[in-house]
């Protein structure tokens, strides 16, 4: 899995706003959308296009159109939903699927508890949205799920990643023969003893939806 950390002043600025515990929920949502659009610009660098001829007010020109079928964007429930609008603002013709992943507390393996996807993803480029790559189990589980459906190119967009999570995903996907990329705003220092990214930004789902206790 190729990892890209987007090094841009606006990305760093918006990530700083998200890290700040004083940032309220409405602002957190809005900045998350903006940051995802910036990350999505880099993440879609390899999106598939085909030549397209158009007539300008002056003459004819050859540009490009997105190939068909369009990209499929897949937010991992629930926090990934907070990233969806930011991506769709960039690629409004994308189709949208949903995957709900959770960890089985006995086996510690990711379990799919909900999904709304085409049965056949053959030939599809997929973009997975998940704010935090912490332990890596859910993201790796979602990637494998998409590959089993036939997806042949996957790009994951995360706001933050922990080194432990990146390493685990790479280990879990070591035998994957499908190109897989990860685009993040930053790779932070580490995971703490309860699985939070340090310095991180807290629980992204709670900060997006205002349900922290």
- Residues annotated within the binding site for uracil are 197, 202-204
- The number of CA neighbours under 13 Å toward the Cβ of 119 is 0
Q: Percent helix, strand and coil across the chain, each rounded to 5?
A: 30, 30, 35
Has this prediction a pTM greater than 0.75? yes
- Residues annotated within the binding site are 78, 103, 130-138, 197, 202-204
Distance in angstroms (rounded) separating the CA atoms of residues 50 and 128: 23
Per-residue pLDDT of the chain (213 residues; tens, 9 = 90+): 899 999 999 999 999 999 999 999 999 999 999 999 999 999 999 999 999 999 999 999 999 999 988 999 999 988 899 999 999 999 999 999 998 877 665 665 667 788 888 889 998 999 999 999 998 888 998 998 899 999 999 999 999 999 999 999 999 888 888 999 999 999 999 999 888 899 999 999 899 987 655
- Residues annotated within the binding site for 5-phospho-alpha-D-ribose 1-diphosphate are 78, 103, 130-138, 203
Positions marked catalytic: 103, 107, 203, 206
Question: Taking a C-beta distance cutoff of 8 angstroms, is the pair 134, 113 a contact?
Answer: no
Q: Which of the four CATH numbers 3.40.50.2020, 2.40.170.20, 3.30.70.20, 3.40.190.10 does domain 2-209 have?
A: 3.40.50.2020
């Amino acid at each position: 899995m190729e990892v890209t950390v987007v090094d841009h002043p606006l990305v760093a600025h918006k990530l700083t706003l998200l890290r700040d515990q004083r940032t309220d929920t409405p602002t957190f949502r809005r900045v998350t959308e903006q940051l995802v659009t910036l990350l999505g610009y880099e993440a879609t660098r390899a999106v598939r296009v085909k030549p397209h001829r158009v007539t300008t007010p002056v003459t004819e020109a050859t540009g490009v159109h997105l190939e068909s079928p369009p990209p499929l964007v897949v937010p991992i429930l629930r926090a990934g939903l907070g990233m969806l609008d930011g991506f769709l603002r960039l690629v409004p013709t994308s189709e949208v699927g949903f995957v709900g992943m959770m960890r089985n507390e006995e086996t510690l393996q990711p379990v799919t508890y909900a999904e709304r996807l085409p049965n056949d993803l053959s030939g599809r480029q997929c973009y997975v949205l998940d704010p935090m790559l912490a332990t890596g189990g859910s993201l790796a589980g979602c990637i494998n799920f998409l590959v089993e459906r036939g997806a042949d190119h996957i790009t994951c967009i995360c706001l933050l990643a922990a080194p432990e999570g990146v390493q685990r995903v790479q280990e879990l996907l070591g035998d994957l023969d499908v190109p897989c990329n990860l685009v993040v705003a930053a790779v932070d220092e580490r995971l703490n003893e309860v699985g939070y990214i340090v310095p991180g930004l807290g629980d992204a789902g709670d900060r997006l939806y205002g349900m922290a206790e």
